Structures are given as structure tokens and as C-alpha cells.
Amino acid sequence: MGTATPLLMGIVNVTPDSFSDGGRYVDPAAAIAHGRQLLADGADVLDVGGESTRPGATRPLLEEELARVVPVIEALSRDAVVSVDTMRAEVARAALDAGARIVNDVSGGLADPAILDVVAATDATYVAMHWRAHADRMQQLASYDETGGVVATVRGELADRVAAARAAGIPDERLVLDPGLGFAKTAAHNWALVAGLEEIAGLGLRVLVGGSRKSFLGSLLAGPDGSPRPVDDREAASTALTLLLAERGVWCVRVHEVRASRDALRVLARLTEEEQ
């Protein structure tokens, strides 16, 4: 891995309960407008999701998730590369039919193995994230006592997901890995994974990372009384993380606020040109 300019994936949460902007874009028209603004700010991909995966969240009904994401994907895919953030095969199929070109599955196929077959039957890109359980109990599984700790364990468990995706017929050129910051991870686990991204990249596939506004940044920026920095006040740290990830050569960074990350990447790219 080395310094590169990663793609920026702008987050479009069509949910009432996401940890950062839950409810702000639950109306399809608001979500579509937000997606278009992210494009104007420099997003390369728009990631549309209808299920919150914040710790403790409960799952929506299938019909609810479909109703949230399909109209938004239909509208945004006319002008943008759209990713659907889902763990359900039915939603992935409907999203791809509506124009999505990437399936971003935070469960890596564990929640609904049929999603691998859906992707294999198309030319879509598949993002497999490291995952251990649904949001209502995932933090109970944040233990990595095996040899090599969290980095080696996540790498090994992601390798299993790669094997499953390959077995379903998804070729390596359409596979992307995500270490799953914040999913069954403590803050210390997250920082170890960021530091050890070369191990994840060592599996030979592209890497996507989503750390924007997450709680490990909030705890890092805690006030004198120990209370975490509020979610909406973590943007500078999120932008710094984007630069760090760029220097580690990741393929894509998933962010809430695209403009700040795009500006920072332009600065880095300009400096890199000067040094060459």
C-alpha cells in the first residue's frame, strides 16, 4: 500500500435512526437532494442505505427497507455511481435493478448468504465488511484474544468471506474488503485496524474503510469530563482520518461530509505532484 487518491463514497442514510444523521433524510426527496449535494461536493460514489447499523439498532421490515432505498437509487443512479448499503438479498436485487452498481454488505454475506448469488449473477462490485452479529448484540462480541489480536483475526475472518464470495462466482476484480470499524470493535480495536491495514490489503483485494464520525473519534476527542465529542462535531477528525487512509493506499473512504475530505485530498495530491 502507498499514497494514492482514494475514491470518496458519500453516505445517504434513508433511515430514521442512523447514529449521525438519522431522520434527516428519511424522506426520499430529502435523500435525493442530499445525494446530489454530495455529488456536487465531489463524491465518486453515493452509498444509499435503508437500515441503521448503529450499536443497538433494530432491523426494519424488508418492505420498509425497499420503500426507503429503491426510489432514491432510481433517481440518483441517473447521474451517479450508486452503492446500496444492505444485508438482504432481496434489497440488493431490487437496488441493482433500480440502477445500483455496488452492493455494500456490512455482513459480508453472513446475514443472508443468497446476496452473494445475487451479485454473482450481475457485473456489480461487492463490498464484504468484517461482521460478527447484528447491531443489537454486536458489541457483545468485541473480543479478539486469538494469536495476532484483532488485525490477524479480522484478516482471517475476511478471508473466509472472500472464499464464500469466490465460491458463489464473484471474481476478485469485483471484490472489495472493509475491516468494519466500529462493528463488534472497541476504540482500541479500531485504531489497531487502521494501523494494520496493510495486513488486510495483503489478501490481495481493494480496501474500503468507513470511520467517519464514529465513536472511536468521539472518545479520542473527549472533553475534560470524559464525555465523547458529539457526533456532529467530529468532522475535522474524520477529515484527518481520510488523509491517513489515503496515505495507506485504500481504494475508497466512506464519509458523511464529502467536501472537506475532497479538499484535503486535493491538497495531498498537489503536494505529492511537487515531490515527484
Q: Which residues are designated catalytic?
A: 214, 254
DSSP, collapsed to helix, strand or coil, labels residue 158 as: helix
Nine cell digits for residue 99: 440502477
Q: Is the separation of the CB atoms in 250 and 197 below 8 Å?
A: yes
Write the secondary structure of 36-52 as one string of H (helix), E (strand) and C (coil). Answer: HHHHHCCCCEEEEECCC
Q: Are 149 and 100 in contact (CB under 8 A)?
A: no
Q: What is the CA radius of gyration of the chain?
A: 18
Strand partners, 232: none
Residues 6+ apart with CB under 8 A from 151: 192, 193, 196, 199, 200
Q: In 10 A of CB 225, how many CB atoms?
A: 5
Closest CA to 256 of 74, 7, 12, 3: 12
What cell does 271 get? 503536494
3-state class of 71 per DSSP? helix
Short-list 148, 156, 257, CA closest to 200: 156
Residue 162's H or E segment, with its range, is helix 149-168
For residue 178, the Cα-to-chain-centroid distance in whole angstroms is 7
